[in-house]
Structures are given as C-alpha cells and as structure tokens.
Structure 1
C-alpha cells in the first residue's frame, strides 16, 4: 500500500520547500548576528581586552533583549498589528545603525569608546535583535508544523557558518556583514510575507490566549535556572584568546546543537515537547561541567563549547515548543514565544553577572564557578525528576500533550459532547474499531509515541492507521481532522 508519511504523524503535507529554504536563509542571518553578539567581541571592537568589560556589555545586551521580549509579550495584540510590525522592523534597522555607528566611531578615534556610549549601544542592539527574532517567529507560524520545525532548525544550523564568516573576515568587511545582515533578513521576510503561498496564522487576542495557555511558574523558573548554567559556560569563553580554531569550534558546536534538536524533535517529539528536554540535557551538562572543575587548556575549552551546544539545543526546542503549544491551544504565538525568550535571556544575563562578580572580585576562579554550576545542575535534576514541571500552568505532571508534529488540541469542555462528535465523525468516515481508537487519541492531541504506548502497538502500525484515517476522511493534516470534529 502506497504511503506518503513523514517521520511524525502527518501524511504528505505538500510543503513548499523553496519557500521554507528562503525562510531558513533569512532567519539564519538573524542567528549569525545573535551568535556573534553573544560569543565574541561584538561590533568587532578589538581595542577592548578587559574580560570584565566584555561580560558587562554582554549583560547589557541580554538585558536589552529580555526587556524587548517582555514588552512584546505584554503588548502582543498591538505588536500583531501593522503598526506594531513596523515598530519591530524599525528595531531591527536600529541594530544595524547602532552597530555601524559604534564600530565607525571606534575605528575613527582609535580608542575605546566611553562606557556610557557602549552601554546604550549594546542595550539598543539587544532590543533590535529581539524584535527581529519575534518577526521571524510570527512568520514561522504560517508554515505547517513539519516545515516550521525544518525552517527553524535549518536557520540555526545555517547561522553557524554565518557567525564564522562574520568573525573571520577582516575589517571593514566583518562589521559590514554584521550591519547588513539584519537588513537583508528583513528583506527576505518581506518577500515571504508578500508570497501568496504564505498564509498568516489566525490572530488570537491576548485575553483569550491567557485563558488557554500560560507558562507554568515551575517551568519558567527551571528555564531561568538553565539559562544561568548556560550563561556561566558562555561567559567563560571570553577568557579564551580569539583565534580561527576557536571560531571554528564555536560554529561547529552551534550546528551540532541544532542537529541534536532536529534529532530529538524527530525521534522523541512528545517527550521533548512535554518538557523532556530538561531531563535529556542532564548527562551532557554533567559531562561538560565535571572536567571544567579541574581541567585547564584545550579540555576546558571543549567543555565550554559543549555547554554552548546545549544552549542552542535548548533555544531551538523552546521556540518550537512555544509555536507548537500556541497552535495546539489556539493561543498567542508572540506572547508565548516572547515570554519564554525573556526567561532564557534573564537566566543568561544572571549567569554572566555571577561570573563577572565572582571573577572580578577574586572570590572564585572559573574552576570553582564550574563546580557551582554542576551543583546547580544536580539540584535541577532532582527538582525536575521529583517535581511536576509542566510547560503550561494548570496541567498535570505529564505536561501538555501535543502531537508529534505539533498540531492538534486537547478536548474541549464537555467531554461527553466531544466524545459524541468524534464517534459521529468516525462512523461517517467508515473507520474500523482500531482506527476509531487512534482517531480519538489524535483528536485529543496525542502523538505517535503516546498512541503506540497507549494501545501497545508499534509506531509503524500507528502511522499506517493514521494514513488510513486521513485517506478515508479525505484530509491531509491534523488541523483538518480537528476542523472535522469541530464541524468547521
């Protein structure tokens, strides 16, 4: 029997791969700029060699990014308007202007710029890049779930070589590329928005969204704590002398983190999207932090880079989770994504602050900081294992159950009416008894992994049943299945 099945639940989606590739390339320009700002001397300011200065400016950059995300999350309705989109695009332009002005001023006077100037510049740069990120998050919501995930992870993977090129080019080409990249990214965003194949996702008012989906307090707290660990690891790379091998290693780990997220979302979609990424990273974090507590030189550098790969994995999964839950719960995409990013930026900033305070005061060296980060990871492991860390507020210990490809939704209030509608649809489509069981679980937002465990059948059998269900119902996606149940 011929099947057109993806690795998840959906059969042939009719994905527009040229459109997705364009989106990945445009979004990759953002990641190239962000990684450059986060990892090395942004604005290519080679005259500043003080470790504390780099860390301090990075804290301001992350603070600006977090502040912008908080504003966007709280004003999600206005940001979704045409005027709000223009303001966010102006923010992206602001990054290019600030980066160009700061770099040209430094190279013109040949001396370090005043601290107050740098603080303003880095804060505005962080806000500008956060605006660009949210614009791309909103665009990704227009794609079907499999394509959305592919575009997101492809963009992060392509952002790694973009980072490498930005850091290896000589002045003024490096700063020129850094300044032009957000503008080019906005141009590709506009091309995609104007393409008839890009159908924007439905607008969801913030008032309605909050009633359907809100991040749980334990989930947000855990995300901040992980950000602290990543901030300590990323901040410690600043003490390593800049070199081509270091830039190459950073680029490789950035790409590896995106690849690991792709593998996880393909192989363990339900587990990852129910907060399982917290647990999956424990072994890797411990492997990275234990050697950092007593090793120096190249082994310590390798451990730093491994933490960077974990951060990219966490970042990718977090954005995918926000978009998946927003689609499943019919909630505001911008609000969920911006809120999650604000928590992560807060953790990263706190990690840099702790590293800055400890090393500048002489209270701790990086080996001791690594041991403290390891202790924090152990505490997190115990907390996540024994406490119910559900992504959304008001959920049970297992968290949100969303489909393997991110589509579907939970049962509506009134379980009896929902059950009756599902049974009526199943009878009308002529589904068999087993297909009806699978159909009922699909309608509740369950994915392949959950269904195979629930019914004690293989994933291949589940996909076969899903294919037959879609064929008999004459549909091609989980969203159409839900529309059939809801009578849309």
Structure 2
C-alpha cells in the first residue's frame, strides 16, 4: 500500500530536475528576504530606528501587501499572465530593491531622506513582496501536490538559517547581502520551469465567483492571528533595536517554527489542520498574552519570544495550506494564495500599528487595556473556531455536478480493479468514521488509498475532475494532511474492524 503512488504505479524515489531545484532555491532566498524585511530592524534608518517608527513602517508594509492582494483578486482578471510575465517581474524586482538601496545609501553617505519618501518606499516594498509571493505560489504549482509541502518546509527552514546569518552581520554588510538575496532570487526565478498554469478562463472566473466566498469564522481567526503576530513581533523588534536582544534571535525563531512543524508533521499530522492547531495552541496564546501584558521588562520580552514562535507557526500552517489549494482545486494558485492571505496580512498591519501606538508616551498608559483587548479577542476563538473548524476564509463548498446529472445511458457503474484486499476496505471505513468524512468523501478516499488520480476517479464516478479535486481538498483538511502519500500512511495505521465494514463506501 505505501508504495502506491497517485497514478497507480509503484512509488519510485525521484529527484528534482535542475530547473525545479533552481525554483526551490529561488523561493528560499525570497522567503529569507521577506522575513528580513518584515520581522527585523535591518531596513531601519537612523531616523526610523525607534519602536514607534518600527511599528509605523512595518505596518505600512503589511497594509500595502494586503492592498496588493485585494487588487490582484478583485481587479486583475488575467492574473496568471500578470505574475508570470518577465517584464512585470523585472519591474517589481526594481521596486523591491528601492528600499534597501535607499537605506544603504542613507547609511553609507549619512543622508536623511524625508519620512514621506521612506514610508512610500516601505509601501512599495510591501507591494513588491506580495507580487513575488504570488509569483512563487504560482510557480510551485508545477511541482505537484506531493512536493509542494516538502519544498515549503525545507525552504522555510533554510530561510530561517539565512536570516540568522544575515542578522549576525554588520548593518552595512547585511544590507548588501539583502540586495543580493533579492537579485539572486529573481535570477533563479528566471531559470525555473514555467508554472504550467493556464491563463484564467471565463469558466474559471464564473466558478470562482460562485464558490469563492469568505467565511466569517475563518476571516476573524486569521485577522486576530495577524494582529497578535504583529504586536508581539513589534515588541521583539523594538527590543532588538534597543540592544536588549541579539538580532539573530528572529532567525532562530523561524528555525524553531520549521522544527516544530517538522515534528508535528511526523508525529501528529492531524494537528496541522488550521482549526485543530489553533485550538491546541489557544491556552498558550492566552497565557502568553497575559504574561506579556502584565510583566515588566525584560521578563515580558522573555515571554514574547516563545509566543512569537507559536503565532508564526499558525501563519506558516496557513501559508502551507494556501500553497496547495490552487493545485487541489485546479484553479489559479496565485488567486487562492492572495485571497487567503488578505486577512492575516491586514491583521499584521493592525498589530504593528497598535504596537506603534502603545510605544508612544500616550499609548504606554493603554498597554494593560490593549493586552486585555487581545485576550478577549483570543478567547472568542473558542466559539468561533469550534463552529465549522475546517472552513477556510475563501472556499465554500463547490457544487457537485453528480447531483445534477445522471450517469451516461447504458453505463455499468464503476468497477475499479480489485487490487486492495478486504482488510483495507475495513481500514478505509474506519478512517471515514474517525475523520467524519461524508459518504461521497469516503468513496473518493477509497480510490485515493488505491493510488488513483483525480482523472481516473472522475471517470469512474461520472463526475467532473474539478469536483474530485474539491472533495480531495476537503478530505485533506479534515485529516490534517497535505499529500496523497500521507493519506495512504494514515489509512494503513487504522485498526481494521469488521464492525465498521458496513460504513465503507459501496464502490466494489
């Protein structure tokens, strides 16, 4: 069973091509550059190297990112062509280099650019980062669902190591390396394989309009996640700029996130579903907020570090799922990524702005009140996250064509090969019951365990291939997995029980 792949053939260890490796390396360097810009004081100038200015500049960057995601999902119809255009990529590379180049000049020549110009450059940096995040999300779709998760994990872990190294360098050298990271990431993007994603058709636009709706609970959760991440990150960055903490602490925090994610992936993959991981970490979030809000320095900083790791673990879980969504649903990957990131990025902008407020002389008196507000917002997780916990902010249940059309006349019904013993049918039934799958999802689960791909299942069940991918996406979310091989492994671990055989989908 474990050696069967999604195309039904024996599983083989295949290596990445040179162009795929170039793409993964480019995504790694891009991730490092974004983490450096968004969660470190590297791009601060002498005039903006204060807690208040850190909050305002970083908040401006995240607000610009949210604005870009909104524009690309609402007003740019041919978004796939836009993010894959070499001309557009070159333009946004130049825009991405403006802020670090300006900071480098200001540091080297002891200049003082107007604050209005600096905030404009931060906004441009946010838009450029959002553009390339959509580009890389679209490009990774060429890897296939089995490899996207692995590429995300290793890229993020290596990016954390790069961030640690860059932040350990002197400021001038670190800025130079930052410019090289951006340039090398672009060079590797050019050398990467094309995404293979077709331009969004009118049919896709109609499907997106009918099924891509925001859910209130998912939107609320992501906004609050972002707010907390922005507030705590602002606290840590302020402590770094004051010399209380070493700059490398942020890079080490990202490495810890990757390690925790890797351990959960190996030991408890079910916890990586968005609803589950949030509820499990909820007590830690509340306790951390209480400690950070009521302790004095430096103990509030000590409490903030593990809290930031927990918060960014939520963000990384979210981003990993979004990277797979377009592939699983057979629609624009950059659309799914951008539309799903709006709320959490907007929340981070609000968090950074709130951090800037409490860092002012007037805002310091409101620190306890701000902490209490955050605690109340997190406590609302309990009723919100337990209602439809597997719902995400953008994808509603897609219509099932099988309900609207009958099988072709004269069809004999699906008769897949009997390659799995009765023992595995019982395991399939047990998994269906354990993870509360619908009858239709349990039916598709059985085919997936056999290693069948979406096209084969669609042919057997007389439904559209898009419908199978939608159901597969829902199965993955309920089981907290990201690949077909993980699904096979989980089903194999189920205890076969003859009493549950009756719940197995009648597909044989």
Common fold by TM > 0.5? yes
Q: What is the correspondence of 1:146-185 to structure 2 with a 5 Å cutoff?
A: 146-185=146-185
Structure 1 SS opposite 2:213: coil
Aligned partner of 1:94 in structure 2 is: 95
Matches within 5 A, 1:114-263: 114-193=114-193, 199-200=196-197, 203=200, 205-242=204-241, 243=243, 246-263=246-263
Match of 1:309 in 2: 309
Q: Equivalent residue for 1:330?
A: 330
Work out the CA distance in 2 between the residues paired with 1:420 and 1:15.
42
Where 2:247 maps in the other structure, the secondary structure is helix
The Cα of 1:150 is off from its aligned counterpart by 0.9
Which whole-Å CA distance do the structure 1 matches of 2:433 and 2:145 have between them? Answer: 19
Residue in 2 aligned with 1:458?
A: none
Match of 2:385 in 1: 384
| Matching residue of 1:414 | 403
**What secondary structure does 1:67 align onto?**
helix
Q: Which residue does 2:26 correspond to in 1?
A: 26
How far apart are the structure 2 equivalents of 1:295 and 1:10?
A: 59
Query: What is the rounded CA distance, in whole Å, between the counterparts of 2:148 and 2:128 in structure 1?
Result: 23
Q: In the superposition, relative to structure 1, how do residues 469 and 48 fare at CA in structure 2: closer, same or farther (>3 Å)?
A: closer
Task: Answer yes or no: is 1:341 the counterpart of 2:341.
Answer: yes
CA distance in 2, matches of 1:331, 1:449: 28
Q: 1:118, CA displacement in angstroms?
A: 0.6
Partner residue, 2:350: 350
Distance 2:71 2:291 in 1: 40
Q: Could you tell me how far apart the structure 2 residues matched to 1:321 and 1:449 are?
A: 21
Deviation of residue 116 (structure 1)? 0.6
Separation in 2, partners of 1:51, 1:330: 44
Distance 1:349 1:319 in 2: 17
Q: Distance in 2 between matches of 1:312 and 1:420?
A: 53
Q: Is the 8 A contact 2:358 2:364 kept in 1?
A: yes
Contact 1:270 1:450 in 2 (8 A): no
Unpaired runs of 5+ residues, structure 2, are 438-442, 466-508
CA contact (8 A) 2:104 2:176 kept: no
- 8 Å CA contact 1:236–1:366 kept in 2: the answer is no
CA offsets, 1:159-202, max 9 Å, x none? 112212222222432111111212211211222226xxx75478
Q: Paired residue for 1:425?
A: 414
Q: CA offset at residue 366 of structure 1?
A: 4.6
Distance in 2 between residues matched to 1:337 and 1:437, nearest whole Å: 37
**1:469 counterpart = 2:450:** yes
Residues 202/348 of structure 1: CA separation in 2 closer, same or farther (3 Å cut): same
Please say if residues 326 and 336 of structure 1, whose CA atoms lie closer than 8 Å, have aligned partners that are also in contact.
yes
296 and 11 in structure 1: CA distance in 2 versus 1, 3 angstrom threshold: farther
For 2:89 and 2:70, the matched residues in 1 are separated by: 13
Helix, strand or coil at the partner of 1:391: coil
C-alpha contact (below 8 Å) 1:92/1:131 kept by paired residues: no
Give, in angstroms, the shift of residue 279 of structure 1: 1.7
Gap change, CA 1:468 and 1:449, over 3 Å in 2: closer
- Following superposition, the deviation at residue 392 of structure 1 comes to 5.4
Which stretch shifts more, 36-45 or 228-237? 36-45
In 2, the alpha carbon distance for the partners of 1:215 and 1:368 equals: 30
Displacement, 1:423? 8.4
In the TM superposition, residue 359 of structure 1 has moved relative to its aligned partner by 3.2
Q: Which moved more, 1:40-49 or 1:353-362?
A: 40-49
Q: What RMSD over aligned residues (CA atoms) do the two structures have, in Å? A: 3.9
**Secondary structure at 2:331 match in 1:** coil
TM-score, scaled relative to structure 1: 0.79
Equivalents in 2 of 1:88, 1:57: separation in Å?
24
Q: Residues 81 and 241 from structure 1, CA distance in 2 versus in 1: closer, same or farther, beyond 3 angstroms?
A: closer
Name the residue aligned to 1:52: 52
Report Cα offsets for 1:57-101 as digits up to 9, x if no partner.
111111111111112222453221168633244213311133213
SS of equivalent to 2:192:
helix
> Contact 1:228–1:351 at 8 Å: present in 2 too?
yes
Query: 2-side partners of 1:295 and 1:422: how far apart?
Result: 70
Q: From the superposition, tell whether residues 251 and 239 of structure 1 become closer, same or farther in structure 2 (CA, over 3 Å).
A: same
2-structure distance, mates of 1:451, 1:416: 28
Q: Shift of the alpha carbon at 1:347? A: 0.3
Measure the CA separation in 1 of the matches of 2:216 and 2:412. Answer: 37
The alignment of Structure 1 onto Structure 2 pairs a total of residues equal to: 451
Following TM superposition, by how much is the alpha carbon of 1:421 offset from its aligned partner in structure 2, in angstroms? 12
- 2:292 corresponds to which residue? 292
